[in-house]
Amino acid sequence: MLQTDEVAIYLKLVSRTDRQFLCLDCLGRKLGCEREALEKLIAYFRKSGNCVLFR
């Protein structure tokens, strides 16, 4: 089962209309980046408080 942050980062970076999502490892492979980079983005969006997906 995916965590809410995994769904939120997928919606933010890939598509807000999709209903099937990828885990952080698979999303990283799809986007050509490391899981840690995605985790840093999640932390950034959570801390900024500007994105409703990460509240």
**Angstrom distance (rounded) from CA 9 to CA 28:** 11
Residue 55 confidence class, pLDDT cut points 50, 70, 90: confident
Give the amino acid at 33.
C
Query: Is the separation of the CB atoms in 45 and 53 below 8 Å?
Result: yes
pLDDT digits (tens, 9 = 90+) for 11-31: 999 999 999 999 999 999 999
Higher pLDDT, 30 or 55: 30
DSSP state of 15: -
The answer to whether the beta carbons of residues 50 and 17 sit under 8 Å apart is no
Q: How far apart are CA 48 and CA 23, in angstroms?
A: 23
Alpha-carbon gap, residue 7 to 53, rounded angstroms: 9
